[in-house]
Structure 1
């Protein structure tokens, strides 16, 4: 009997009772190998466990995951158990990842450089996906940048390696995680992976996405000659210090070793930095102080809405209400020229609900309606340019009901679906459930 599958072999789906042929090998990991399989033109992915990983416990875990189903479509979840009379062990079938998706590790290595808007979308979807997983009572256990893939154009994500998911606080963990993403209490051997440790790993992953540096890799890490297991335990578990800890400068970024961190950190608004500081100061050793998925979701949507473009070089910048105004817009991080703030709309008189009205801005149901659903497929408003006068911009009604608009001169008019209101400071729009004020 073969130890591992070979090209041309067939494996049987246990529940569907169908045979799939192995076309090619896609990858090799510590637990098993991944292949493309096909039947009647339908292509799927197969993960086959190596002999020492094909345990009874793992088989039971896969069957349970198949039974409960994926928390959402972003998870490349086990669909069926795969077996063979000619190959030792077993595997499982999952959807095949599209070829245009790249791994977060490629992003960190700068082999792909998506826009800030895409980064915000990746971060939002990550927080939302793990929130859905955790709300069902499960933990992921091994969040890291090797098992997350994304579309560089849209920011849509796919999460793989879901065969280690287990019931929080109940299922025995077959893996402890990836060292640099583990919570300090797991590194020290005090706790097993859980929802709380997932929250720490998620914060590390988000920090990598935006800052391109580990949150604990500062001067202390650069002074270590051999970064072996004892050194890792010290940095990640015994003496962890955030590189931007406002109260402790002992582990600040080294200007020679951590240039990415020093260049990236100043780019982001204070409302984002605040969550990272909480995650890696209070949240380092107090799981109850870690930032929840819902908090990350809200902040990443706000960060996405705060993007605007430099009028000189076109680079994306972030609006930071803590330090920016029309009188003091600051400088573009890219060309160092003075920024020009565009019109923006403030929803329900809340500064955290500010959307920059750039040339491509759109407002969605979560902006204009009382809903917790975040759906970017159907905008309810968009910024448009006047067809005859390119110097005039407006906000077009894409909803199916009228808006009630009050001008700065207190004139009231209705804007029918398909019509626009000219962008001007002081204009107020009643969208029905919510209202907005345009600011310049």
Structure 2
């Protein structure tokens, strides 16, 4: 295949063409170029070795069907077969988004736990929508995500390997991210995607691979045989309670050793279950994306701003700040269905369990011991006091956080302020 150069024109199947500006990067499959399409800057992925006709037709089908959600940098235009190959055009990645690998190497870090949790939820939601559309991703790995460290917004790239459920793209994924049954030669599907998703989430939270512990450290050279062993036939979770042979090694796996106890127990317990030998061998029992979203949203409900130092801290297991060590009053809470959201000054509240905060807790201007809830949504709330008085809380207005006050946020979401004793 001849590489493209500045000024080259590549025809599109839909008519027209793109003009090559410059190379943006390259990988094992191809080269990504900055191109001009009718005055708009886009990205063109041009294959080094043109995949077969089936791959080409699948790309064409995916472009016609459209992206499962806005999280995907989905193929938008397909080029004609020319110059010895072909490619597809997609949107450019904004400059404030960085490769997931940068976070793993500590070149970039999340601005807050809120941003980290938002990224996790966005990834889960993206793959839930992908699977609902009847696709499987096939090649899920750390190179598939661009993340905004300030907001946690995620863009999912390299979507050319996406295939209908039960079909195989013909391009092998990375062993470190493939489910054991795929390492052994199986056909990728939504169940293997869910395994890969669990690996990605673990690495996002703990910055360590879930199967890379003492066994991998002791490996003299990572050959294909050892890859199949460590990530396939003999995979052992680094915190498997029944098998201590692959524990993290101090001085090497410092990230996970430090972070493992920092996050809430429910997250640790879920990873222990997801990477258990039972689930490794029974793909259809793996956790679905919507349950991951629900779990992560619940963890976010226990995340508060420390009133002493202003840092974020989890309060599921301890009422002491992880940063300054001082006690935090978590007695004031908002019940929304089965959820119990801790309320401290500066804490954001997510009524719909999405990534857009609907409310913020602020201190009363005349009494810092009293809290107010500010309506950050675009809708009116209706508040009812224990005595039956009704008040409408408009956007940007506030209401007191007093036990017994009931709030109707929408037709589907209602809440009540409660006072509990700290554990």
Alpha-carbon contact 1:220-1:251 (below 8 Å) kept = yes
Q: 1:139 to 1:173 in 2, by over 3 A?
A: same
Q: Within 5 A, what are the aligned runs for 1:31-430?
A: 31-50=29-48, 52-83=49-80, 87-114=83-110, 115-169=112-166, 171-189=167-185, 191-281=186-276, 282-320=278-316, 323-324=317-318, 329=319, 331-341=320-330, 343-348=332-337, 350=338, 353-366=339-352, 374=354, 376=356, 379=358, 381-397=359-375, 399-406=379-386, 411-418=387-394, 419-424=397-402, 426-430=403-407
Aligned equivalents of 1:165, 1:41: Cα separation in 2: 29
Q: What stretches of structure 1 of length at least 5 have no aligned partner? A: 368-373
Question: How far, CA to CA, are the matches of 2:304 and 2:347 in structure 1?
Answer: 9
Gap runs ≥5 in structure 2: none
The answer as to whether partners of 2:383 and 2:405 remain within 8 angstroms in 1 is no
2:23 aligns to what? Answer: 25
SS of the counterpart of 2:25? strand
Partner residue, 2:415: 435
The offset of 1:390, in angstroms, is 4.2
Cα 1:26/1:207, change in 2 over 3 Å: same
- TM-score, normalising length from structure 2? 0.91
User: 1 CA distance for matches of 2:123 and 2:197?
Assistant: 8
**What SS is found at the alignment partner of 2:268?**
helix
Q: 1:311, 1:358 → 2: CA distance?
A: 7
Distance 1:338 1:375 in 2: 28
TM-superposed deviation, 1:212: 0.6
Residue 371 of structure 1 is matched in structure 2 by none
Give the secondary structure class of the aligned counterpart of 2:225.
helix
Is the Cα–Cα contact under 8 Å of residues 304 and 346 in structure 2 kept in the other structure?
no
Post-superposition Cα deviations, 1:315-355, rounded to whole Å, max 9, x if no partner, equal 321121xx34xxxx2x433344444437321223x2xx122
Tell me how far 1:193 sits from its aligned partner.
1.2
Contact 1:344-1:356 at 8 Å conserved across structures: yes
* CA distance in 2 between partners of 1:363 and 1:405 (Å): 20
How many equivalent pairs are there?
411
Task: From the superposition, tell whether residues 391 and 361 of structure 1 become closer, same or farther in structure 2 (CA, over 3 Å).
Answer: same
Taking the aligned partners of 2:243 and 2:140, their CA distance within structure 1 comes to: 27
Q: CA deviation at 1:439?
A: 2.9
2:383–2:390 contact (8 Å) kept in structure 1 = yes
Q: Deviations over 1:276-333 (max 9, x none)?
A: 111100321211221111111111111222211334443321121xx34xxxx2x433
1:420 to partner: Cα distance: 3.1
CA contact (8 A) 1:179 1:232 kept: yes
Q: How far apart, in 1, do the equivalents of 2:365 and 2:16 lie?
A: 57
CA contact (8 A) 1:342 1:358 kept: no
Alpha carbons 1:77, 1:94 under 8 Å: kept? yes
Give the Cα separation in 2 of the matches to 1:344 and 1:439. Answer: 6
User: In structure 1, how many angstroms separate the alpha carbons of the residues matched to 2:172 and 2:81?
Assistant: 30
Residue 252 of structure 1 and its aligned partner are, at CA, apart by: 1.4
Work out whether residues 346 and 436 of structure 1, in 8 Å CA contact, stay in contact via their aligned partners in 2: yes
Cα deviation for residue 376 of structure 1 reads 1.9
CA distance in 1, matches of 2:215, 2:341: 40
Deviations 1:146-204 (A, max 9, x none): 110111111111111000000111x2332231110011111122x12111100000000
CA distance in 2 between counterparts of 1:251 and 1:30 reads 31
CA distance in 2, matches of 1:315, 1:153: 15
State the secondary structure of the residue aligned to 1:196.
helix
